[in-house]
Chains A and B, each alone.
Chain A
Amino acid sequence: MRFWNKVRARFGRAAENDLAEEMRLHRQMIEDSLRAQGLSSAEARHKAALEFGPMAIAQEDSRAEWSYAWLESLWADVRYALRTLARDRTFAATAVLTLAAGLALATAAFTLFNAYVLRPFAVADPASLYEVRWLGKDRWVGMHTWRDYEDIRARKDIFSAVHASRGVFVMGVDRHWQGKMVTGNYFRMLGAHMALGRSIEERDAQAPLGDHVIVISHGAWKSVFQLDPGVLGKKVALRGRSFEIIGVAAREFAGLDGSPPDFWAPITMHGAFRKDELAVEVIGRLRDGVTRPQAEAALGALASRGQAGMRAGLGSRATVVAFSPMMIFVFAPVALALALVLATCCANVANILLARGLSRQREIGVRLSLGAGRARLVRQLLTEACVIATAAAALGLLLAHLLLTGGQAVFFATAAPEFARLVRLHSLELDYRVFLFALGAALIAAVGAALTPALQSTRRDTALAMRGEFSTAFRSSRLRDTMVVVQVVVSAVLLVCGALLFRRAAVFQAVDTGIDARGVVNVSAGEQGAVLSAAMRARPDVESVAGASRAIWFGRLQQTMVIPSGQANPRVSGYHRVSPDYFRLFHIRLRSGRAFTEEEARSGAPVAIVSEATARAFWPGEDPIGKTIVPSPVRERHLDALPNTGRLQVIGVAADVVHGWVFEGRDRTCVYLPVDESKAGQLFIRFRTGEQAGVHRLRQWISERLPDFEGDSISMNTVLDVQIYPFRAAAWIGWMLGLVAMALSVSGMYGVMSYLVNQRSKEIGIRVALGASPRGVVALVMRRSFWLAAAGVAVGAMLAGGAINLLLWWSAEIGVLRWDGVALVSGAAAAGIVALLAALGPSLRAARVDPNTVLRAD
């Protein structure tokens, strides 16, 4: 009521005029009555004016009753802040840019975090979706039999709906299709919307008469069909069969997987896509009121049906990465680095604001002595900070957007093209959460940055303030020194981490695997090995073909237990089944002995070739040719048992190569066993045309001759690129963070030292007047900078050491990183040197201080 009265009165311009008119009439009435008492017109007017008093003040007071005083003064503050910022553009630009840079980094990282961890899948009520798994002691099973699915689905008391699905990957000549085969209730259960057509329904997925229909994703619609509105009814050839497009999923619907699929097909099409047995992922929607432990207990009987001792576990499928302590642990180092950068940005802005507060001391002093309230002044400075924060948040969002789109562009441009073609990212749009995050972070940053200077610059003795003299009380403030030290520390830590990752990535990139993979394409031939190998050998553009039981560079070599002759105890050893041409194809030199023969490969003869490292480990100082190896039974789960073929005779020694992870180096042990090329499973084909053309020709041939072929093909160098890429990316990110931190510490040091020089200019002037040399003055400033930088470097080096240990511990599982003293020393030293260089400018300026000017200033 009150509020609306005010608003009505405030926004009606008429109210204002009414009041003036009313008062004028009032005065006329007084005049009238005075005239009636016999006064002349002029006298009456004069007396009425006297009696009424100053009309303007009465009007002002009356108006004040209507307005929100604080609102008006807030608006005044904002206008004033804008005006002062516009007057000092360098200051405003520096503050806004510094803050925006930090925010952009934090926001971009948060966007990724949001897309994969925070933002639920765009489906109906994602929080109630759980994946059913059977958990054993040391393993868990996520794929279930069809019977298990039907029994889980029958538990209507636990789940209101349950669907089953299975992924499929279809490699085309140029375009690959990532698909999901789903039960008929999948789309309805997830509440998915369609951009075009209809979804897959129960009638499409009814065994045994499933239809050859698919729903394509919005992404595939865009990239394959250029958003053609007439796409419905078109056919897509997958695995040699033609599938009709019946629908296009809405843009936001990306299923429930980390990598969004390109198409969905009825689960009854399983046989068309895969030759293996049907096994499905099962996801249910928990009923209201049923807790997860209750559901897990209820499913316990089903879990232990297949294998005793198994129990049921439910995993949330609300987001790509389930929010768990493990996840927080994984993200913590990145989050920490970003928090440090953001904190540094805040510290710099605080410094800038502080320096500005000092340069405005006279203005603030005058305002204080004119009776300005301290709270009012603080509010004014805070308003200024908020204006800066708002601008920085807007700019930061823009920068974050550019960073993300640029980052994706860089990723797709620099990753191996084959690899980039396989990657499907979730939408990295800046949604409202990201916006709120940026704005919140900016406000916290700016208010945090402004609060200290605001309180400090208003904590003034009015009398001193009038004279502009409070720098003395200010000198002892340790705050700014701490800030500089902290900045040097942060940049040292980030530079060290960047250097560590960069040096590691450089090592990996330079690794000589010992395998010459140029022009070689790997195809998982499966059952079709004989056909493929015969066809490829017959081609003129194929130089050679070889086979192996396992793809290489996709993981560690398989391990087994063997007893080398002359030794009592079995030991762990890597093994690899290869065809006779394997060594020739990859240009792996045989140091002594011979390769397998075709006959040995066909019959699986008890012969073996060992790598040099294996020979050294098994029979140090002896000639391995003629020695024997006996397969031994294994107990551990991660080891394979070799068939008991009796003693294996060593017939050759091969050079050491990397079969597993590049970062683990050459195989510590590798025993090669013979296998028939056509039955090996994996084929390696060396094309004379180079790998890109080779992959294309192979896929072309497959699509023409073996349309229902299931295997994947990939060039070996792509595999290697994929292995190394994460390190390259991590190194770039490390460098980028380091550079940003360095730039920030430069601006921080420069700011603080400039401020110090300005503040002590009087003192420096006196020193110069008393005969101090320019060198002495430079030394004065540099000495201080040196101690600050030294403190920063010392603390930074210690923290960086801790950070390296944390990284080592964090990555211990994959054993990628090594302790790196060079990175530690060079990173920390770079941070210190750069900080000192930043202080050079202000100290040279101090040397040019003219005593005549500074001492006359007051």
Chain B
Amino acid sequence: MGTNELLPGTLEMLILKTLSGGPNHGYGIAQHIHAASAGALKAGEGSLYPALQRLLVNGWVQAEWGISENNRKARVYKLTPAGRKRLAEERRQFDAMILAIGRVMEA
């Protein structure tokens, strides 16, 4: 299972993107990032939870206790309107960054 290190600051964006598809719990978020990147990215729990706390602090996500799909108790995160705006913002910045890096690499 080869994993790549994430670019700094991109984990938040990935979490926000994951939650934009619907509320999810920590395990679900980690699984989704792993699966959606076809196993290329792995959000380690050591960085996942601090990142989630940062998003909570900034009010971009909300959390409440709920039940997971296989009937376990889980804390479910939900995107807030501010979070949705933030995602769009990060997306824009990320695209600009990738574009810029691409140009440099192809120059």
A complexed with B: yes
- A interface residue numbers (CB < 8 A to B): 1-2, 5-6, 9, 18-19, 21-23, 25-26, 28-30, 32, 51-54, 57-59, 61-66
Residue contact B49 to A62, C-beta cutoff 8 Å: yes
Tell me, in angstroms, the Cα distance from A483 to B46 when the chains sit together. 55
Contact of B46 among A18, A21, A61 (CB under 8 A): A61
A30 CA to B30 CA in the complex, in Å?
10
B49 touches A23 (CB 8 A): yes
Is the pair A57, B46 in contact by a Cβ cutoff of 8 Å? yes
Q: Known A29-B72, A62-B53; judge A5-B59 contact (CB<8 A).
A: yes
Q: Are B50 and A65 in contact (CB under 8 A)?
A: yes
B44 interface residue per 8 A CB criterion:
yes
**In the bound complex, how far is the Cα of B44 from the Cα of A628, in angstroms?**
120
Which residue of A has the minimal Cβ distance to B26?
A26
Q: Is the pair B50, A61 in contact by a Cβ cutoff of 8 Å?
A: yes
Q: Which residues of B contact A66 (CB under 8 A)?
A: 53, 57
Query: Are B54 and A65 interface neighbours, CB within 8 A?
Result: yes
Of the candidates A28, A32, A65, which one forms a contact with B53 in the assembled complex, judged by CB atoms under 8 Å apart? Answer: A65
Query: What CA separation (Å) do A63 and B57 show in the bound complex?
Result: 11
Contact B56 A61 (CB under 8 A): no
CB distance from B74 to the nearest CB of A (A): 6
Considering only CB atoms, which chain A residue lies closest to B75 in the complex? A22
Q: Is A9 a contact partner of B46 (Cβ separation < 8 A)?
A: no
Q: Is B68 an interface residue (CB 8 A)?
A: yes
Beyond the given A58-B49, A65-B54, please list 12 additional residue pairs across the A-B interface where CB-CB is below 8 A: A1-B59, A5-B56, A5-B57, A9-B56, A19-B49, A23-B45, A29-B25, A30-B27, A58-B50, A61-B47, A65-B53, A66-B53
| Residue pair A62, B52 in contact (C-beta under 8 Å) | yes
**Chain B CB within 10 A, most for which of A25, A32, A54, A59:** A25
Query: Can you sample 26 A-B contacts with CB below 8 Å?
Result: A2-B58, A2-B59, A5-B56, A5-B57, A6-B57, A18-B75, A19-B49, A19-B53, A21-B75, A25-B27, A25-B72, A25-B74, A26-B26, A26-B30, A29-B27, A32-B72, A53-B44, A53-B45, A54-B46, A57-B46, A58-B50, A61-B46, A62-B50, A62-B52, A65-B54, A66-B57
Q: Which residue of A lies closest to B65 (CB)?
A: A18
* Residues A29 and B52 in contact in the complex (CB < 8 Å), given A5-B59, A57-B46: no
Task: Give the docked Cα–Cα distance between A21 and B49 (Å).
Answer: 12
Give, as a whole number of angstroms, the nearest-CB distance from A66 to chain B.
6
Q: Residues 59-79 of chain B: 1 if any A CB is under 8 Å from the residue's CB, otherwise 0? A: 100000100101011110000
**Contact among B44, B47, B73 for A25, CB-based, below 8 A:** B73
Residues of B within 8 A of A51 (CB): 45
Contact A29 B56 (CB under 8 A): no
Which of A29, A58, A66 is packed against the most chain B CB atoms within 10 Å? A29
Determine the distance from Cα of A842 to Cα of B49 in the docked complex, in whole angstroms.
Answer: 61
Task: Identify the closest chain B residue to A64 (Cβ).
Answer: B50
Digit string of B38-51 for contact with A (CB within 8 Å is 1, else 0)?
00000011110110
Q: What separation, in Å, do the CA atoms of A23 and B30 have in the docked complex? A: 12
Q: B91 to chain A: closest CB distance in Å? A: 22
Q: How far apart are the CA atoms of A28 and B75 in the complex, in Å? A: 13
* Chain B residues within an 8 Å CB radius of A53: 44-46
- Listed in ascending order, the chain B residues whose CB lies under 8 Å from chain A are 25-27, 30, 44-47, 49-50, 52-54, 56-59, 65, 68, 70, 72-75
CA distance A28 to B73 in the complex (A): 11
- Inside 8 A of B53's CB, which chain A residues have their CB? 19, 62-63, 65-66
A519 to B72: give the CA distance in the assembly, Å: 105
Give the Cβ gap from A271 to chain B, nearest Cβ, in Å.
79
A30 to B50, CA, bound (A): 19
CB-CB under 8 A from B56, the residues of chain A are 5, 9
Q: By the criterion CB–CB under 8 Å, are A52 and B68 in contact?
A: no
Complex CA gap A59/B49 in Å reads 8
**Nearest A residue (CB) for B44:** A53
CB distance from B1 to the nearest CB of A (A): 10
- Residues on A with C-beta less than 8 A from B26 are 22-23, 26
Cα–Cα distance between A631 and B70 once the two chains are bound (Å): 125
Question: Which of B25, B46, B58 contacts A58, CB < 8 Å?
Answer: B46
Please give me the residue from chain B that is nearest to A54 by CB atom: B46
Q: Are A26 and B27 in contact (CB under 8 A)?
A: yes
Residue from A9, A28, A65 with most neighbouring chain B CB atoms (10 Å) = A65
Docked complex Cα distance between A23 and B70 (Å)? 17
Q: How distant is A229 from chain B, measured CB to nearest CB, in Å?
A: 59
Point out the residues of chain A lying under 8 angstroms from B75, CB to CB. Answer: 18, 21-22, 25
Q: How far is the CA of A62 from the CA of B26 in the complex (A)?
A: 13
Please indicate the chain B residues that have their CB under 8 angstroms from the CB of A63 in the complex. Answer: 53
Q: State whether A9 touches B57 (Cβ < 8 A).
A: yes
Residues of B close to A22: CB separation below 8 A = 26, 49, 74-75
Contacts of B54 in A (CB 8 A): 65
In the complex formed, the residue of A with least CB distance to B42 is A51
Q: A29-B68, A58-B45, A61-B46 are in contact. Are A2 and B57 (CB under 8 A)?
A: yes
- A29 vs B52: C-alpha distance in the bound complex, in angstroms? 18
| Chain A residues with CB under 8 A of B57 | 2, 5-6, 9, 65-66
Min C-beta distance of B43 to chain A, whole Å: 11
A173 to chain B, nearest CB (A): 78
**A1 CB contacts on chain B under 8 angstroms:** 59
Least CB distance, A490 to chain B, in whole angstroms: 54
- Per CB-CB distance, the 8 closest pairs between chain A and chain B, nearest first, are A65-B53, A29-B27, A61-B50, A62-B53, A62-B49, A22-B75, A53-B46, A58-B46
Nearest CB of A to B12, in Å: 11
A74 to chain B, nearest CB (A): 20
Q: What is the bound-complex CA distance between A51 and B65, given in angstroms?
A: 24
Do A26 and B70 contact each other (CB < 8 Å), given the known contacts A5-B57, A65-B50?
A: no
Complex Cα spacing A23 to B46, Å: 10
A568 to chain B, nearest CB (A): 101
Question: Which B residues are in CB contact (< 8 Å) with A61?
Answer: 46-47, 49-50
A22 vs B45: C-alpha distance when bound (angstroms): 11
Expressed in whole angstroms, the minimum distance between the Cβ of B9 and any Cβ of chain A is 14
Most chain B CB within 10 A, of A9, A18, A28, A58, is at A58
Complex interface: chain B residues within 8 A of A29 (CB): 25, 27, 68, 72, 74
Q: Which residues of B contact A30 (CB under 8 A)?
A: 27
Q: Which residue of A lies closest to B45 (CB)?
A: A52
Contacts of A65 in B (CB 8 A): 50, 53-54, 57
C-alpha spacing A63/B53, complex, angstroms: 8
The closest CB in chain B to the CB of A5 belongs to B57
> Which residues on the A side are within 8 Å of B68 (C-beta)?
29
Q: State A64–B74 Cα separation when bound (angstroms).
A: 23
Shortest CB-to-CB span from A19 to chain B, Å, is 7
Q: Which residues of A contact B47 (CB under 8 A)?
A: 61
Min CB gap B100→A, angstroms: 29
Residues of B within 8 A of A62 (CB): 49-50, 52-53
Cα(A30)–Cα(B72), bound, Å: 12
CB-defined contacts of B50 to chain A, threshold 8 Å: 58, 61-62, 64-65
